[in-house]
Every structure is written in C-alpha cells, then in structure tokens.
Copies of this chain bind each other. A is one copy, B any other.
Amino acid sequence: MKTFLVAGGDMRSVSLARTLSENDMVSAIGFDGKIFDNSDIISINKASELPEKADCLVLPLPVSADGVTLNCPLCSCCPTIRELSAGIKPGGIVFGGKISPEIHRYFEEQGFAVCDYLDREELAVLNAVPTAEGAVQIAISQTDETIYGQQILITGMGRIAKVLIKILTAMGAKVTAAARKYSDLAWAEIYGCTPLNISEIDGELYKFGIIFNTVPSLIFDEERLLSLKSDCLLIDLASKPGGVDFRAAEHSCIKTIHALSLPGKTAPVTAGRIIASAIYNILEERSEHS
C-alpha cells in the first residue's frame, strides 16, 4: 500500500483521488474541505501538516497557471508548488501533467523522481474515448440531421480518429477518413470507412455534412472553407492552434467549433480514473525495473 498526496486540480483530480483511495491511502490538498466528506480521503490545508509524508505527490493537469501557485479551481486558497515538497518522503515520486521544465527541475533537485503522466501512450489512447464521445455529442446537438446516414469526413488516422470511426460507423454514418500513409488508408477501409488520400481532399469537400479534424496543422484554410457545404459543421479536435483558419471561418457562414480538453469537460470522472490507471502503470514498471 502506497500513500498519495493529491494536490489541486478540477473534478478529474477529485475522481483520481477517489480511485487511488480504493486501494491506497490518500490525502488531499487544494480542495474545498467538504468534497471528500464521507470518504477515506483526508483533506489537509498545508503539506507540512501531514502526519506522515506521502510516497507520491500527484499534481493536477495543468500543474500551475503562473509557474508558482498550484492550479486549484476547487479551493479558495491555493498553496504554492514549492511548499508541497514538504509533504513528500525523501526519494518519493512527483506525478503531474504537462510539468514545466522549471517545476520538473525544482522537484528533481529536491531529490524526487518526476513523472509526467501525459507522456504515457496508454493515457493518450484512453483519453481518445471521452474526446470522441464529447465530439459526437457536439455533432448530435449542433446539427438538424441524424448522424445516421450523414456523410462525415475525419481527417487524420490517429487515436481520436480511430475511436470516432468506431462510434460513427456503428451509428450508421458514411465515414470518409483522409490520411496520407497508405497503411493508414488500409486501416480506414478495414474499419468501415471510405479511404481518401489527403492530397485529394479538395474535390470531395462539398459532400460532407460534418467534418472532424484531428490533424494539428492548417488543413482548413480559407479556400477549403469556401468549398464546404453551407450547412457543414466543422469540429476541430486538434490542439491549439488547431487545423482551421478560424478567422476566415467567421467571415464564411461555416459553423466551426474548436473543441478542446473534452475529457475533462465531458467525462471528468473517467478522465481522473484514466490518470490513476497511468500512475499505477508507472509504479508497476518502476517496481519491475528495480
């Protein structure tokens, strides 16, 4: 059994703390005190208050907005990142998401191991699920037609695209998947899509009622926006700056939505569990290698 100190974050961190507490001892800092009532999780106000230092500190995603104070939207008084080190055992491990080089260096200099759970491939894979579900929800609610029977384009064949394909084909959409690599196009076809070489996308754009972009480079420039159907819905799932010229989109009549950070918005409880599972995998691997 390990001891964890979960520090700050949104509902994902609450869920993460609850998941860890099913098997291990968890303290929490940076949350409104009542959140963990009726649970085994002990809420504290200062890391130095902990009766026994924790094996692991778990920082939120993102760790901090300003590089100094902990990101804790669910608490009125936020501790600094630095003071959290008082809560960790010598040789303990610090987990976090998108840890900045400065914070990484700080904890390492204090003698702790530092692991970014966002670097884990399995977390990225599992996060594709809430992302795809959130994207499908947007598509259902922002169009006047069913997904069923709809002509849908997905650009890219990464994780999110694969999960979207699974859901949308089952819903009866006619899905075209645009990619560059022949092997990705082969997979697209095997999973029930019409494959489209992304270099030939221009001649096909007029067909689609919904487009999901997952490619993080400017695919939908002004010219391509103009070749879309006027009632096409374009959902950009690529992280900033995304794959759409949003300024040009405003001038056109095309409805565009830059849907970011969907796991935390659509399914924070699941997103927290996915992080917990990545943390356990990291611990498992460390114990195998030692």
Taking Cβ atoms with an 8 Å cutoff, the residues of A that contact B are: 11, 15, 120-122, 124-126, 128-130, 133-134, 136-137, 140-141, 143-149, 163, 166-167, 169-172, 181-183, 185-187, 189-192, 266-270, 281
Contacts and interface: CB of A to CB of B under 8 A. Distances in A.
6 contacts: A11-B144, A122-B186, A133-B146, A134-B140, A137-B140, A146-B266
A136 B140 contact: yes
A126 B195 CA distance: 13
Contacts of A140: 133-134, 136-137, 266
Contact of A267 (B128, B144, B172): B144
- The listed residue with most B CB atoms (<10 A of its CB), out of A15, A143, A182, A187, is A182
Contacts of A130: 146, 148
A129 B172 contact: yes
A276 B167 CA distance: 28
B183 A121 contact: yes
Contact of A122 (B144, B145, B185, B281): B185
B182 A146 contact: no
Nearest to A124: B183
B270 A182 contact: no
